[in-house]
Amino acid sequence: MSRGAAPSRRTAILSLLLLGGATLAAAVPTWLSTTGATALDPEVEVAVAGTSAAPGVSAAALVLVAAALALGLVGRVGRWVVLAVAAVSGVVATVSALGVALDPEPSARSAVADATGVTELTAPVELTAAPWLAAALGVLTVLVAVWVAVGSRSWAEASTRHERAPGPTSGGSSTRPVPAPEPSGGAAPGAATPGTDRADPAGGTSPDEISDHDAWDALSRGEDPTDR
């Protein structure tokens, strides 16, 4: 299927919910009717609902509703599990409904035995359209589950595309270099401060590093202080 036909998560949930509700509604009414006889009443009318004739249909419908609700809560792996459960519930509903639609007499005899105490049928079994409707809804459930499974691949892509970028380091603050303090007195960067020792490139002492006392002593001896 194309990406444009892919269902959203909301559409998938609503579709499965509607199918579950419709399947359960199809199991409630009368599926078949017949008559039996007792010693006191020669004709006892018996009507059998789908919930009695095919309990698997109503059970599958309830499972489908639960799967639809779970589809909005699970992640990627859970989504596949939920859709597999939905598909299986559709298969169970179809098989159970077709079992009654193709051979309704066993269910009718069981219902007559409960009503009269004997399994003898005094009239043919009349079948309604409800079993066929339930079987069709089961097939549709399987198709919808496959459709959602194929289209749900875009759900993960959409969530990945909108993930937040990694934040700063722990504590919410980023590490920044702290500038070195400037020398006091407005001195230019790299200028020597008084009292510090700095080696002269020629191996001597810089003139800035000669104290006044040493300079005076050198001058007293007739020496040039800068030659030291």
Paired residues of 32 in beta bridges: 48, 127
Secondary structure E strands in the chain: 30-36, 44-49, 126-127
Which residue, chain included where needed, has tokens 């098989």? 95
pLDDT of 2: 45
Length of the chain: 228
| pLDDT recorded at residue 28 | 94
| CA angle (45, 49, 51) in 5-degree steps | 150
pLDDT at 36: 82
The pLDDT value given to residue 211: 73
Which residues, 6 or more positions from 79, have their beta carbon under 8 angstroms from its beta carbon?
71, 152, 155
The one-letter amino acid at 129: A
- Cα–Cα distance measured from residue 116 to residue 67, given in angstroms and rounded to the nearest whole number: 40
pLDDT value of residue 150: 85
Q: Can you give the pLDDT of all 228 residues of the chain as single tens digits? A: 444 567 788 888 999 999 999 999 999 999 998 888 777 777 788 899 999 999 999 999 999 999 999 988 888 888 889 999 999 999 999 999 999 999 999 988 888 888 888 777 878 889 999 999 999 999 999 999 999 988 777 665 444 444 454 555 444 444 555 555 555 554 445 444 454 444 444 445 555 566 777 777 777 777 776 765
List the Cα angle 118/122/132 in 5-degree steps.
95
Burial grade of 210 (CB within 10 A; 0-12, 13-18, 19 or more): middle
Domain residue spans in the chain?
Answer: 3-160
Query: In 10 A of CB 194, how many CB atoms?
Result: 8
Predicted confidence at residue 160, as pLDDT, reads 43
User: Given this model, what pLDDT does residue 77 score?
Assistant: 84
Fold of 3-160: Butyryl-CoA Dehydrogenase, subunit A; domain 3 (1.20.140)
